[in-house]
Amino acid sequence: MSWTIESSKLNQSDLLTNESLFFLGNGYLGVRGNFEEGYSEGDKSIRGTYINAFHDKVDIEYGEKLHGFPDTQEKLLNIMDAQSVQVWLDDERFSLFEGEVLDFQRKLRMDQGYSERIVHWRSPKGKEVNITFKRLVSFVNREVFVQEITVDPVKGVERIAIHSELEGDVSNFVDPDDPRVASGHAKRLAAGAVYETDGCHVAGAETHETKMSVCCSSKTFSDKENHDYESNIEGAKAQETYTFSGEEKITFTKRNVYMDSMRYGQNLEKKAVQLQGELADDRFEDFLEEQARYLNDFWKTSDILIDGDDDLQQGIRFNMYHLLQSVGKDPKSNIAAKGLSGEGYEGHYFWDTEIYMFPFFLMTNPEIAKNLLLHRHSLLDSARQRAKDIGHTRGALFPWRTITGGESSAFFPAGTAQYHINGDIAYSYIQYYMVSGDEDFFRNEMAEVLFETSRLWLEVGHFHNGQFRIDSVTGPDEYTCIVNNNYYTNVMAKNNLLWAGKIYDHLKKEDPERLTELMNDLEAEEEEIEMWKEAAEKMFLPYNEELKINEQDDTFLQKGKWDLDTTPKDKYPLLLNYHPLLLYRYQVCKQADTVLAHFLLEDFTDQDTIEHSYNYYEAVTTHDSSLSFCVFSIMASKLGQKEKAYDYFSKTSRLDIDNLHGNTKDGLHMANMGGTWMGIVYGFAGLRVKESNVHFSPYLPEQWGSLEFNIRYRNCLINLKLTEGKVVYTLVEGDAVRIFHMDSEISLDPGVPVEKRTSL
């Protein structure tokens, strides 16, 4: 069962959650797992189809708007709905909420890349039928969402009718009561009239503000020639009805092609119809074959094998699968906080990408990882403009949340104030370079981004008593906003500045021409570089002598401690029950902050400090953010607190499957999904990427019999297999590579396993 997710639940809450869990996507297109035939009246459903980055701009309202507050916000749009297909048995319409459900199974097949619903149903009038709904969003033909419905009459059916719809006039979901869900601007798409051409139905629409267009061409097939057919178009809605005799099993196929103007330019509708032509008679099975091949390749590299816990095995695959389904693979797109699985956070890209999701791709699918970096690079001009809008004189400030570069955060203390986004992006660039050794990237995109972010650090911080200090920013912990010298921010800035200096020195020596060009393009002076180096060197990293911990910020330790023990369970997450000012006033953390910094940049502090800090912050952290458990799991592993490591890990790997945060309906917690992978690879296997090499300090959780996975490093694919007390490293692809195991360097040659003892 670890290759499938199954559910047979039909209650309202699970249905909503399952819409996210069973969503299908390919990084371009995402379709929520809604029921083709609909629900019972009054049931809530978030029916959604999305194209990554396809958005409109909506106004942000403020009771009091100050300078530099963004006027508008980008918002991922729900687009035309092709999911709907109803099945009629004579005069009765099939519904899982009427009649008698004799059997119902729902599966997400992660090895092959499709989902299905298998139903054995008895109608209110006693007719009996087996129905199977299959669907697939193609990784190979990213425009294609294909559905197959088979109806197998068992008893008393005289006629079977299939009623299929294409609805062009759709809205986004709104919930005025939840700050994490949009509360307005539902209707942002002007739908054109649907029409029929070349055997397809075509629906087109345009966004209100951004004037982007999108279209869907939908083509239906039946496997029986002998049927009646009727079609009807009303405004933005097309309806088709196929009627068959009720004597034998029928198979109905609906093939939907989606295109948007960001990728396909003008004449979308023509192109979408043309593609239908090229796809000829390809049906579900044809796409499935390619899909399975694609996934086979993916899993061959990316799979993680756990012996000993099927639930976790399933959870891990589920998370990797959904990361693959959601990550943008073209230059226009990144990976949203909810992926393509829902509308939570408006389809925005956050630091989640760089710190929580990028590592998985970096170590398994580097071309996808590189695309994420290039996408950020494409936002650089917006980031320069944003820095100016705030009042800075130079440099770039990446937006806290965005799609195409505009800051879309409406609450700056936990938005724009998180300047660490700049350091996070620089960090991911540095990681990529260390793993790939991509010199061309180093000289170009990386140099430019690290120079511009370094310039901003000089704007934000200042020298004071021999220290470089950064005031009035917010670190990752959103329960402590607008502080001075947040350890996380400062150490990430230090890393950023150090590497900008390194790049400068390297280019000066190796490629002075490129350096001159870059300096000219940026209108940068040599003195600036000296300042970067000095700021990096003198960066203030708060440390408390008494507790022997890095302080989260200048004053964190002077605040009162929130009493987590006496806080009632129903008061969590705290942000939904207390005014932010009250939270800011206490030592209470929404998520890993200093502990995260210690994971990302362990070399800027020492092991003792890391340990004391972990113990200290663990006691004041609520993990109200889904970005927290995985970091605590990784660091518990590092510190040999294996029980804790495993416990935190368990919570990450099934967070969405078990709906632990209660809001999976709005979309999956993608960062946590990346965090699950990290919990294994950085946590149990102790991977760290350093400038010189990759390092492992692996151990096998005692609950497991074995653990096996691959990582890519410098054109090599390295396999690790952990069993009790030992690890075997095998170079699967590549000529030869040197890696570190527990601080000692080892050489791997192709196909020759190297066995090492693991830490206790």
- CB nearer its own copies, residue 308 or residue 580: 580
If binding is defined by CB under 8 A, does position 126 make contact with its own copies? no
Tell whether 14 is in a known binding site.
Answer: no
Which residue in 296, 76, 281 sits closest to 171, CA to CA? Answer: 76
- CB nearer its own copies, residue 271 or residue 388: 388
**Quick one: how far is CA 275 from the chain centroid?**
29
* Binder among 61, 234, 527, 545 for its own copies (CB under 8 A): 61
Tell whether 591 is in a known binding site.
Answer: yes
If binding is defined by CB under 8 A, does position 588 make contact with its own copies? no
Tell whether 352 is in a known binding site.
Answer: yes
If binding is defined by CB under 8 A, does position 466 make contact with its own copies? no
Tell whether 590 is in a known binding site.
Answer: yes
CA distances from 759 to 285, 463, 693, 723 (A): 48, 43, 20, 12
The one catalytic residue in 74, 354, 478, 551 is 478
**Site residues for its own copies, window 234-253 (CB under 8 A)?**
none
Q: Which amino acid is at 345?
A: Y
Neighbour count for residue 661 (Cβ, 10 Å): 17
CB of residue 587 vs its own copies: minimum separation in angstroms?
A: 10
Look at strands 694-696 and 737-741 and give their pairing: parallel
Contact 173, 48 (CB under 8 A): yes
Residue 43 and residue 49: Cα distance in Å, rounded? 19
If binding is defined by CB under 8 A, does position 662 make contact with its own copies? no
Q: Which stretch binds its own copies (CB under 8 A): 263-271, 423-431, 470-478, 690-698?
A: 470-478
**Site residues for its own copies, window 193-222 (CB under 8 A)?**
none
- CB nearer its own copies, residue 662 or residue 751: 662
Q: Which amino acid is at 642?
A: K
If binding is defined by CB under 8 A, does position 416 make contact with its own copies? yes
If binding is defined by CB under 8 A, does position 388 make contact with its own copies? no
Q: Which stretch binds its own copies (CB under 8 A): 359-367, 385-393, 450-458, 590-598?
A: 385-393
If binding is defined by CB under 8 A, does position 567 make contact with its own copies? no
Contact 646, 629 (CB under 8 A): no
113: left (phi over 0), alpha (psi -120 to 50) or beta: left
Residue 233 and residue 355: Cα distance in Å, rounded? 48
Number of residues that bind its own copies (CB under 8 A): 50
- CB nearer its own copies, residue 294 or residue 411: 411
Q: Which stretch binds its own copies (CB under 8 A): 31-39, 59-67, 93-101, 640-648?
A: 59-67
Q: Which stretch binds its own copies (CB under 8 A): 95-103, 237-245, 581-589, 629-637?
A: 581-589
If binding is defined by CB under 8 A, does position 481 make contact with its own copies? yes
Active site residue 290: no
**Secondary structure string (H, E, C) spanning 422-470:** HHHHHHHHHHHHHHHCCHHHHHHHHHHHHHHHHHHHHHHEEEECCEEEE
- CB nearer its own copies, residue 581 or residue 760: 581
If binding is defined by CB under 8 A, does position 484 make contact with its own copies? yes
- CB nearer its own copies, residue 281 or residue 570: 570
Residue 505 and residue 276: Cα distance in Å, rounded? 54
* Binder among 41, 67, 440, 743 for its own copies (CB under 8 A): 67
* Binder among 156, 192, 308, 413 for its own copies (CB under 8 A): 413
**Tokens at 383, concatenated:** 């980031």
If binding is defined by CB under 8 A, does position 156 make contact with its own copies? no
CB of residue 349 vs its own copies: minimum separation in angstroms?
A: 17
CB of residue 608 vs its own copies: minimum separation in angstroms?
A: 24
- CB nearer its own copies, residue 513 or residue 563: 563
Contact 364, 711 (CB under 8 A): yes
CB of residue 171 vs its own copies: minimum separation in angstroms?
A: 19
Contact 471, 413 (CB under 8 A): no
Residue 629 and residue 616: Cα distance in Å, rounded? 15
Which residue in 408, 382, 406, 410 sits closest to 396, CA to CA? Answer: 382
Residue 281 and residue 674: Cα distance in Å, rounded? 38
If binding is defined by CB under 8 A, does position 710 make contact with its own copies? no
| DSSP assignments along 223-289, one per residue | S-S--EEEEEEETTEEEEEEEEETTS-EEEEEEEEEEEHHHH-S-HHHHHHHHHHHHTT--HHHHHH
Q: Which residues are annotated as a binding site for substrate?
A: 351-352, 590-591
Q: Which residues are annotated as a binding site?
A: 351-352, 590-591
Binding residues (CB under 8 A) for its own copies: these are 60-69, 73, 179, 183, 389-392, 409-413, 415-417, 460, 462, 464, 469, 471-473, 481-482, 484, 554-555, 558-560, 575-582, 584-585
Catalytic residues: 478
